[in-house]
Amino acid sequence: MTTEHAGPTATATAGVRELAVKGAFEFTPKVFPDDRGLFVATYQRPLFTDATGHAFPVHQASQSHSRRGVVRGVHFTSTPPGTAKHVYCARGRALDLVVDLRVGSPTFGTWDSVLLDQEHFRSTYLPVGVGHAFVALEDDTAMVYLMSGPFVTENEHAISPLDPALGLPVTLEGVEPILSERDIVAPTLEQALERGLLPDYQTSCALEAAL
Q: How confident is the model at residue 14, as a pLDDT?
A: 62
Query: 100-133, pLDDT tens digit by residue?
Result: 999 999 999 999 999 999 999 999 999 999 999 9
C-alpha to C-alpha distance for 2 and 189, rounded to whole angstroms: 12
With H, G, I as helix, E, B as strand and everything else as coil, classify residue 132.
Answer: strand
Residue 14 is assigned to a structural domain of this protein: no
The enclosing domain of 100 has a CATH number of 2.60.120.10
Per-chain mean pLDDT for the chain: 93
Confidence band, pLDDT 50/70/90 cuts, at residue 5: very low
Whole domain around residue 42: which residue ranges? 22-209
The verdict on whether 59 is a catalytic residue reads: no
Q: How confident is the model at residue 10, as a pLDDT?
A: 32
The verdict on whether 86 is a catalytic residue reads: no
Confidence band, pLDDT 50/70/90 cuts, at residue 2: very low
Residue 16 is assigned to a structural domain of this protein: no
Residues 6+ apart with CB under 8 A from 142: 63, 64, 65, 89, 90, 91, 92
Residue 161 is assigned to a structural domain of this protein: yes
Residue among 88, 125, 145, 201 flagged as catalytic: 145
Residue 12 is assigned to a structural domain of this protein: no
Residue 127 is assigned to a structural domain of this protein: yes
C-alpha to C-alpha distance for 4 and 20, rounded to whole angstroms: 8
Residue among 75, 86, 120, 132 flagged as catalytic: 75
Paired with 66 in beta bridges are: 141
Average pLDDT in the 183-188 region? 98
Residue 159 is assigned to a structural domain of this protein: yes
| Count of domains for the chain | 1
Query: 49-100, pLDDT tens digit by residue?
Result: 999 999 999 999 999 999 999 999 999 999 999 999 999 999 999 999 999 9
- Percentage of the chain modeled with pLDDT above 90: 93
Which has the closest alpha carbon to 192: 107, 24, 76? 76
Residue 6 is assigned to a structural domain of this protein: no
Q: Is the pLDDT of residue 176 over 90?
A: yes
Residue 190 is assigned to a structural domain of this protein: yes
